[in-house]
Amino acid sequence: MTIKVGDTIPSMKLMMATAEGPKEVSTDDIFKGKKVVLFAVPGAFTPTCSAKHLPGFVQNAEAIKGKGVDTIACISVNDAFVMGAWGKDQGTGDKVEMLADGSAAFAKAIGLEMDITARGMGVRSQRYALVAQDGKVTHLGVEAPGGFEASKAETILGVL
């Protein structure tokens, strides 16, 4: 079943790259007591993700956080090393947390996985963005295949 507005973010573990190496982080620590914007991309270093999606959130981070958002996080079905390298490449700094969902467990738990094995990419996350307050989803924008409107930073800024 796909997550929807009013649902609670599932309690589970993700990974983040740190200076000391990959670190396990819980969704509870990320979401509880905070207003969070989480956006998902099908893959790090992929064309739309690298040219538009992540850069939009980096460029608009100050405006988004100015609307009361505590954390902006990007999640992808990649490992923590790849997400860390992509964050460095994109200059995310402390603007956007880079979360690794290496086995697509989070994508599957919220019902937003997609199987693109036929295109050589395996199971990935759909492209989406959500806003959560204290772990409850208050907004969800899921893209149609090939789309890039519902989940872009400018759209999310408009719903905050």
Annotated domain spans of the chain: 13-159
Q: Which two tokens stand for residue 42?
A: 């099908």
Q: What is the pLDDT of residues 78-130, one digit of tens each?
A: 999 999 999 999 999 999 999 999 999 999 999 999 988 888 788 889 999 99
* Residue-level pLDDT at 110: 97
- The reported pTM is 0.95
* Residue-level pLDDT at 119: 84
* Residue-level pLDDT at 22: 94
Cα separation, 113 vs 57, whole angstroms: 22
Q: What is the pLDDT of residues 72-82, one digit of tens each?
A: 999 999 999 99
pLDDT at 15 > cutoff 90: yes
**pLDDT higher for 130 or 146?**
130
For residue 28, name the pLDDT band (cuts at 50, 70, 90).
Answer: very high
DSSP 134: T
Q: What is the pLDDT of residues 35-72, one digit of tens each?
A: 999 999 998 998 787 888 999 999 999 999 999 999 99
Homologous superfamily of 13-159 in CATH? Glutaredoxin (3.40.30.10)
Of residues 36, 37, 40, 49, which has the active-site annotation? Answer: 49
Q: Mean pLDDT throughout 17-46?
A: 95
* Residue-level pLDDT at 50: 82
* Residue-level pLDDT at 122: 80
Buried b / exposed e over 117-151, threshold 16 CB at 10 Å, is eeeeeeebbbbbbbbbbebebebbbbbeeeebebb
Active site residue 74: no
